[in-house]
Structure 1
Amino acid sequence: MFDAVIEFRRRLQAGEVLLGSGIYMTDPQASAALADSTDFFWFDLEHQAMSIDTLRTHLLTVRHNKTPAIVRVPPSEAPLVQNVLDAGAHGIVAAQVRTVAEVESIVAECRYPPVGRRGFWPMIPTNYCRDDMSQYIKQADAGLFVAVMIETAEAVEAIDEIVAVDGLDGVVLGLMD
């Protein structure tokens, strides 16, 4: 699981153009059919009425093909971030952040202590505890992609400070906002 995100991050940092597939259907066959032909999956929980159960089914479907699954979450939804990560997402994109403090809070929700405050739920991400837990904790933060969406004038004004937040992997521009 972690290698897929580390490779995804490396490719982004190298300036490669990556093509993702947005999954908006409930049938996991959609994600299974695209698994070998996309650089990453994008699941949208901000504008799409996909349940966490449907998302979990999709994430389990694509888990073993090593294609990163990134999930956009609505603003100010810390409990949902935890649920998405527990379901096995490789990363999150937090929508509509406005301030550095909001970005720092999102990063903290995604990272385990002492770096953050993510709770430990040893199920899907840990292969149902079949993996070495001490090794999992060591690798988990490096193997998770965290980005935020810049969609407001306030966030644009703070962009230099936002991109400097430790633990943030990237920003996505909301081009229509």
Structure 2
Amino acid sequence: MTTHALLQAFKASKPAFGAWITLPGVLNARAVAQASPHLSWVMIDCEHGLTSLQPGAAESIQAITGLGPNAPSPLVRIPATGFSNSTSWQIKYALDAGARGVLVPMVSTAEKAREIVADSRFPPGGRRGFGSPFTHGTWGVNAAEYLNSANENVVVMIQIETKEGVKNVEAIAAVDGIDCLFIGPYDLSLAIYCTSGKQSLKRAEEGFDIINVTSDIGAMTESLAASLTAAVGGESGAAAFRY
């Protein structure tokens, strides 16, 4: 199996730092993925970002994995939420596109978590169908190798971002096959999702496993604002709210 930086970080029990991709386009995706050797993952946001699930996410995944063995793991947040019944085909699209993992928003029950796991695993561990002639190539393996290893290597992530989800979090966490619980800070109003390196260091010291550091649009606007403030002889003030 080709590189999977996020999974390697999990196995090494070290914090996995990542960045959010909200802007569409393969050049943007590659630029973010190449930004730092400390990136373990990048999240292609097809829910609130401007990248379409198909073909946008697939093209971005290809652009990222094409960077070689040191590329961060490309993950996809699907647009459908855990409240709906339409998550199955969207998980299939994201994984068939070659994503190393999938993130499903608004998961509030253990029952929905089990459905997501089933949709993300090939039989006998789940009900994911196989048929794409492209997926295994994106991973850098043949079809048989992908089928034999995907269930152990695809990372299944869900977002806890509702009152019901918090109430059921222990039951959700106990679902076999869920690899990561990701806090949805804006809907849950709990600031665990990070938007700066300083915040990320604090969360790493607290023992969090997967930590967002910044986003493409956040990093770009922050850098522009700082440069222009310096150009007019000003001093950097408090950081503006950003995603």
Q: Provide TM-score, normalisation by structure 1.
A: 0.88
- Residues 13, 162 of structure 1: CA spacing in aligned structure 2 closer, same or farther, 3 A cutoff? farther
User: Contact between 1:70 and 1:92, CA under 8 Å: does it hold in 2?
Assistant: yes
1:143 aligns with 2:153: yes
- Residues 50, 34 of structure 1: CA spacing in aligned structure 2 closer, same or farther, 3 A cutoff? closer
Q: 89, 111, 116: which one pairs with 2:121?
A: 111
Q: 20, 23, 29: which one pairs with 1:22?
A: 20
Cα offsets for 1:36-91 (capped at 9, x unmatched): 32221111111124221111110110113332111111213211111111111110
Q: 145, 148, 167: which one pairs with 2:177?
A: 167
User: Contact between 1:2 and 1:144, CA under 8 Å: does it hold in 2?
Assistant: no
Counterpart for residue 143 of structure 2: 133
Larger Rg over CA atoms: 2
Give the 3-state SS of the residue equivalent to 1:101 in structure 2: helix
State the 4+ residue runs in structure 1 displaced beyond 4 angstroms. Answer: none
Q: Provide TM-score, normalisation by structure 2.
A: 0.66
Q: Distance in 1 between matches of 2:142 and 2:11?
A: 29
Q: Distance in 1 between matches of 2:89 and 2:132?
A: 17
Structure 1 alignment gaps of length 5 or more: none
Counterpart for residue 56 of structure 1: 58
Q: 77, 87, 91: which one pairs with 1:72?
A: 77
- Residues 148, 56 of structure 1: CA spacing in aligned structure 2 closer, same or farther, 3 A cutoff? same
Structure 2 alignment gaps of length 5 or more: 188-243
Counterpart for residue 85 of structure 1: 95
Alignment RMSD (CA, Å): 2.0
Count of residues paired in the alignment: 174
Counterpart for residue 29 of structure 2: 31
Give the 3-state SS of the residue equivalent to 1:103 in structure 2: helix
One-letter identity of the residue aligned with 1:54:
G
Counterpart for residue 44 of structure 1: 45
| TM-aligned CA deviation for residue 150 of structure 1 | 0.3
| TM-aligned CA deviation for residue 17 of structure 1 | 2.9
Report percent identity of matched pairs: 28
Q: Trace 1:3-18 onto structure 2 (pairs within 5 A).
A: 3-4=3-4, 7-12=5-10, 14-18=12-16
User: Contact between 2:117 and 2:177, CA under 8 Å: does it hold in 1?
Assistant: yes
